[in-house]
Amino acid sequence: MKRVALSLIVIIMIVFLPGCWDSRQVEEVAVLFGISIDKNLEIPGHITITLAGPTNQEDAEKPVRVISTSGKTVRNAMDNLQARKDRDVSLGHVLVVFIGRDVAEEGIEGKHLDGIMREPLVRGNAILATVDGRAQDLMESQTEDHPYIAIFLNSIIERAARRSLVPWYTLADYFQCLSIIGRDPMSPLIKLGPKGEVDPIVDNTAIYRGNKMVGELNQDETLILLMIKNNLRRGRISVPIGDKEDQYATILADRITRKVKTRVDGEDVFIHVHMKLTGEILELTAATPIADKESLEAADENVARFLEQKSYQVMNKLQKEFNSDPIGFGRYVNAYHNEFFQRINWREVYPNVHFTFEVDINLTRTGVLR
């Protein structure tokens, strides 16, 4: 009797327990890989978002579907899109969020990103990228290399970040920079090729002051920025070498250590940055062989001075032209001169900080040629 009762209970449980309020079949979910956010050109104050994801339909013509929609906020726009879709739109697979330049320059607001950050399904390492132009155009552009434009762009950015062409920058980094004083956001800046023809170009950096984009750095400047920020990873740069014009050594450089020393004297702030790098020579257009001890050491010196000089130029741009502190020197002053930092307005002090840079590079290899 007991056994029969038990079996009955088990059978009833099997029937009722699998029922689930939240059952969602895979076929009912519209997966997204990327979102772009632009200003709406017709309705002031509204935003246009473009979503890209797979069509999930075997007989579909193209594997990817790109849809634009608009609304008051990013969530509102997504709900407006939902009205046109037979599947539940899910943010769980978003790899990258693109911000159009017009939005970035006017300032990224809560209506653009809060709805994405608040969603628990969004992955913590989704990346943020700024687009030089309308992000919608980027999402709608076609590439031969990959069927899904968002995944394609995500892996380009990842690859570029691995060579220090752009910073690796996530949404979480962005929000963290906004919530603290003493470090400004930045992001990869993607340049569009002519519409529908050429692939996008990923080797620039957008510099923000608070939530507003204030300027951009080109490929070489980005490398220097990342070097000062101690994020340099296998970065490549061409350095003029020798006494003749048009002679270059292309260097592959990696970071070893970076030390930041801060000193406050009255109201003046002095920051000394000492960077140690290692590198190898990838290319040398000068005819003389270089692989003897003296000339390699001379090349070390040459490259180091060049990188120092570039550092001053980039820092000058960041301080005077952009008044933005993406490297986060404010955090160092806060850490080592806390009372001083609490007293001052970093935004006003930063442009007048006295920087000195010192680079040590050790070129270890020259490839298979002398």
Nearer to other proteins, 170 or 238 (CB): 170
Instruction: Report the candidate in 65, 49, 68 with the shortest Cα–Cα distance to residue 57.
Output: 65
Q: Render 164-187 in DSSP notation, one character per residue.
A: TSS---BHHHHHHHHHSSS---EE
Bridge partners of 50, per DSSP, are 36, 68
Say how far apart CA 192 and CA 132 lie, in whole Å. Answer: 7
Token digits of residue 274? 């000492």
297 φ/ψ angles, rounded to the nearest 5 degrees: -65, -35
The single residue listed with the structure tokens 């004083």 is 181
Q: Is the dihedral of CA 305, 308, 314, 319 positive or negative?
A: negative
Say how far apart CA 89 and CA 51 lie, in whole Å. Answer: 10
Residue ranges in contact with other proteins by CB under 8 A: 20-22, 92, 120-121, 123-125, 170, 172, 175-176, 179-180, 328, 331-332, 334-336, 338
12 φ/ψ angles, rounded to the nearest 5 degrees: -60, -40
Question: Which residues neighbour 319 within 8 Å (Cβ) at sequence distance 6 or greater?
Answer: 350, 351, 352, 353, 355
Q: Which DSSP category does 22 fall into?
A: T
Instruction: Report the candidate in 293, 314, 328 with the shortest Cα–Cα distance to residue 359.
Output: 314
The sheet with strand 235-240 has its strands ordered as 235-240, 248-265, 268-284, 354-365
The amino acid that residue 86 corresponds to is D
Q: Render 281-340 in DSSP notation, one character per residue.
A: EEEE-SSS---SHHHHHHHHHHHHHHHHHHHHHHHHIIIIII---TT-HHHHHHHHSHHH
Q: Give the DSSP H or E segment for 2.
A: helix 2-16
